[in-house]
Structure 1
Amino acid sequence: MTFDVPNDSRLRSPDFLFGVATAAYQVEGAAREGGRTPSIWDTFCRQPGRVLNGDTGDVACEHYHRWPEDLDLVQDLGFDAYRLSISWPRVMPRRGEVNPEGLRFYEQIIDGLVERDVKPIVTLYHWDLPQYLDNRGGWVNRETAYAFAEFADVVTAALGNRVEAYATLNEPWCSAFLGYELGVHAPGLKEPRLAYQAAHHLLLAHGLALPAMRHNAPQSRHGLVLNFTPSFPATERYDDQAMALLQDAINGHWFLEPVLEGRYPSLVTRFRPESTPVVYPGDMDIISRPIDFLGVNYYTRSLVTHDQDGEAREVRVENAQRTSMDWEVYPHGLYRLLTDLDRQYHLPPLMVTENGAAVTETVEDDGIHDDLRCDYYNRHLQAVDQAIRDGVNITGYFAWSLLDNFEWAEGYSQRFGLVYVDYDSQERIRKRSATLFREFMAERQSAGAGAAS
């Protein structure tokens, strides 16, 4: 058995980038080693009731010590690329201070990937803001955007062109809205106005960082990763359709339109005027600097209706297949997202930088048969294939995640990995989904070798 992708699919072409991803705080552990100082997630995890079971990322998957074994896994599974993130407080434990040991850790990973013929894809910020910056207001403080530009300069100067592609930010919607409005992610605030201001400063940080990144790594590609949960109207009524459009504007276009077109969506500023952030002259020119690629993260959709208070209410789809995160499995949502974005914007090349499913599973004598995850990947790869056939320029796909890991507010209760991690022994056990990817990668390689001969 392998993935049901047609033989003439671009996904089978050697120039299509297949990868697997992780993030620093979720896998590294070694929270107090190597000169690292606390991040907002170290602080958040220690606040009672914030994270399920009081879990923390202190140990995680011990990737800090086991990285050679994990890179061997990436290589053996046949992936073209590995997407990782850089721990800001490991590299810059205090404002203006560079930690050579922290930089060396990432340099050896990049060198290890190159030696294994795996392309490094580096995300500079995946939510682990240094606590010393949060003490001064975090992303609500405009100065944090300039601090990020300094961090990006340090990292890209050290890693340079060895990295295939750099993403400035991962899912700034989560950093801003989950962290500052809904309070379910660090730093855990519940102030909607602050969320929109944090979002603006995150985008400003992205734009401020790009010139130094391009100078330090002129042969690398430079872009941004956004998450999308496309909203579908629960009925054909005009108010449900309008609410779905507004939710998409807030959740996705609020971040994409400034980057590609230099303005915030008028749909949001008109109907949520109280949330409009403070924007300085010239900010939008900085934010809209050209990018080489856009990373698209997709897991599920949202089905929404319009309630009596003029707010969106999510509608649960009965009898739908769902992951252990209770997210609906809806591959058509990925197809619709990719094709809708392509119709609405003049896009750079796209990469699906995260896609995957959390599954409740147990280790059996004959392995781990994560059938729902296997089916999830199979159907979503078909959706990507169809989007490409319909004209969308998609150049890569990354499975989330290589390893089971610390899943933020859900702690260790949710497993997204292709590889099972026994958190007591740190043993890595490949699941059926890992085997499927390995078989598919081998097929691609074999077909490519045959075509070359």
Structure 2
Amino acid sequence: DRALAFNIAWILDPVVFGDYPPEMRRYHGSELPRFSPDERVLLRDSIDFIGLNHYASLYAKDCINSRCICNDSSCIQGSDRAIRGFVCTTTEQDGVPIGEPTGMSLSFVVPRGMEEIVNYTKKRYHNKPMFVTENGYSSPYKSFEDYQHDVKRINYHKSYLAFLAQAMRDGADVRGYFIWSLMDDFEWINGYSLRYGLYHVDPRTLNRIPKLSANWYRDFLRNSNSLNKNYI
């Protein structure tokens, strides 16, 4: 279940090290651009921190050295192979989902994934300062009451923050953490159907109504004594 952790290397390796991962060079060869020595120095000197957006984890299986059977078609040879990659991903194993479902079809609650991706980034990129720039939960329910009394969102952030704290205790240089999102907003192709916000936005009046999670996060930041007894 480390698919997302390893997936960041093709993005960050060129920026941090000035080259693509060896695995990519092995399979893509001359298809990939090369950086000059001056460009490598420029890239390395321009990076002050690494920002991680993390929501969920997936099971992954290699499509090159093992027989890959899953619903994803990325193991099928085709003209888009270079884009789709050489891995297939799935949300379940032996019919058992990787975690509790959320409002996003491929996003399941897997708190340990936070610790995994932070530790992987720490090790691969020599513990460069990190910020968790996005981490959030979209409710799978549709009723107004569920959006307001969003205990599952609170539990999501509690568990993900606990694994993040463990990674920090193990030495990860994490400087900040940002919840996605302050308010329910327009979520790209999903429009307003996904609601990640700590505040509900009334579509008729545009009034911003705090959810239970907004009060919980306020108390969390304040280290309030009421943190563990009022949010159930």
Q: TM-score if structure 2 supplies the norm length?
A: 0.77
Correspondence 1:33-44 to 2 at 5 A: none
Structure number with greater Rg is 1
Structure 1: distance between partners of 2:90 and 2:152: 23
Q: Partner of 1:400: helix, strand, or coil?
A: coil
- 2:76 is aligned with 1:295: no
Give a deviation string over 1:34-68, Cα, whole Å, max 9, x none.
xxxxxxxxxxxxxxxxxxxxxxxxxxxxxxxxxxx
Correspondence for 2:102: 323
The count of corresponding residues between Structure 1 and Structure 2 is 201
Correspondence for 1:146: none
Correspondence for 2:118: 338
1:440 to 192, 201, 220: 220
Aligned letter for 2:90? V
Correspondence 1:338-377 to 2 at 5 A: 338-359=118-139, 360-364=141-145, 368-377=148-157
Q: Partner of 2:214: helix, strand, or coil?
A: helix
CA apart distance, 1:294: 1.6
Alignment check: 8 A CA contact 2:111 2:160 kept: yes
Structure 2: distance between partners of 1:315 and 1:274: 30
- 2:158 is aligned with 1:378: yes
Structure 2: distance between partners of 1:398 and 1:333: 16
- 2:21 is aligned with 1:262: no
Give a deviation string over 1:200-242, Cα, whole Å, max 9, x none.
xxxxxxxxxxxxxxxxxxxxxxxxxxxxx9418xxxxxxxxxx
Correspondence for 1:414: 194
Alignment check: 8 A CA contact 1:361 1:368 kept: no
Structure 2: distance between partners of 1:434 and 1:362: 18
2:89 to 304, 309, 314: 314
Structure 1: distance between partners of 2:159 and 2:144: 25
Aligned letter for 2:104? M
CA apart distance, 1:283: 3.0
Q: Partner of 1:392: helix, strand, or coil?
A: coil
CA apart distance, 1:379: 0.2
Q: TM-score if structure 1 supplies the norm length?
A: 0.41
Correspondence for 2:42: 286
**% identical equivalent positions:** 34
Alignment check: 8 A CA contact 1:258 1:288 kept: no
CA apart distance, 1:435: 1.1
CA apart distance, 1:338: 0.8
Aligned letter for 1:382? A
Distance 1:274 1:413, change over 3 A: farther
CA apart distance, 1:335: 0.2
Give a deviation string over 1:239-283, Cα, whole Å, max 9, x none.
xxxxxxxx92xx311221122222211211211336413656733
- 2:204 is aligned with 1:424: yes
> Which runs of 5 or more structure 2 residues have no equivalent in the other structure?
69-74, 78-85, 226-232
Structure 1: distance between partners of 2:147 and 2:19: 51
Structure 2: distance between partners of 1:377 and 1:404: 16
Structure 1: distance between partners of 2:166 and 2:220: 18
CA apart distance, 1:321: 0.1
Structure 2: distance between partners of 1:281 and 1:394: 30
Give a deviation string over 1:168-205, Cα, whole Å, max 9, x none.
xxxxxxxxxxxxxxxxxxxxxxxxxxxxxxxxxxxxxx
Structure 1: distance between partners of 2:185 and 2:114: 24
Query: In angstroms, what is the RMSD of aligned CA positions?
Result: 2.7
Alignment check: 8 A CA contact 2:184 2:199 kept: yes
Structure 2: distance between partners of 1:338 and 1:281: 29
